Amino acid sequence: MRTTTDHAINQRSSGRGGRTPEDAGTGTSPGRDTGRGLAGIAANVLRRVPGPLIGLIAVMIALSIMSPYFLTWRNLSNVVTQNADIGIMAVGAALVILIGGIDLSVGSTLALSLMTSAWLYRSAGVPFELCVVLGLTVGAAVGLINGVLSTYGRIQPFVATLATMSAAAGLALYLTNGNPINGFPEWYLAITSNDILGIPLEGIIMVATFLIAAYWLRFRPSGRALYAIGGNAEVARLSGLNVTRIKIGVYVVAGFLAALAGVIVGSRLDSAQPTAGTADLLNVIAVVVIGGASLSGGSGGMLNTFIGLLIIGVLNNGMSLLNVSPNLQPVVIGVAIIVAVLTDRASRSRQGA
pLDDT in tens, 235-282: 999 999 999 999 999 999 999 999 999 999 999 998 999 999 888 898
207 exposure class (CB count in 10 Å sphere: 0-12, 13-18, 19+): middle
pLDDT at 18 over 50: no
For residue range 326-349, what is the model confidence (pLDDT) as tens digits? Answer: 888 888 888 888 887 777 666 666
- The residue ranking higher by pLDDT, 35 or 335, is 335
Residues 6+ apart with CB under 8 A from 262: 85, 109, 110, 111, 113, 114, 117, 135, 139, 276, 277
- Taking Cα atoms as reference points, which of 302, 92, 93, 86 lies closest to residue 214? 302
| Average pLDDT rounded to a whole number, residues 174-194 | 90
154: left (phi > 0), else alpha (psi -120 to 50), else beta? Answer: left
Q: How far is residue 6 from each of residues 10, 16, 24, measured CA to CA in Å?
A: 6, 16, 20
What is 52-352's CATH number, 1.10.287, 1.10.3470, 2.60.40, 1.10.357?
1.10.3470
Mean pLDDT of the chain: 85
**What is the pLDDT at residue 248?**
97
pTM: 0.83
Local confidence band at 6 (pLDDT 50, 70, 90 cut-offs): low
Contact 206, 80 (CB under 8 A): yes
Local confidence band at 41 (pLDDT 50, 70, 90 cut-offs): low
The CA-CA-CA angle for residues 340, 346, 351, to 5°, reads: 125
- The residue ranking higher by pLDDT, 181 or 14, is 181
Local confidence band at 47 (pLDDT 50, 70, 90 cut-offs): low
For residue range 147-182, what is the model confidence (pLDDT) as tens digits? Answer: 999 999 999 999 999 999 999 999 999 988 889 999
**What is the pLDDT at residue 236?**
92
pLDDT at 71 over 80: yes
Q: How many CB atoms neighbour CB 167 within 10 A?
A: 15
Residues 6+ apart with CB under 8 A from 258: 88, 89, 92, 105, 106, 107, 109, 110, 113, 139, 142, 143, 277
- Measured CA to CA, the distance from residue 139 to residue 111 in angstroms comes to 9
Contact 293, 305 (CB under 8 A): yes
> 306-321 burial string, b = 16+ CB within 10 Å, else e?
bbbbbbbbbbbbbbee
- The residue ranking higher by pLDDT, 79 or 55, is 79
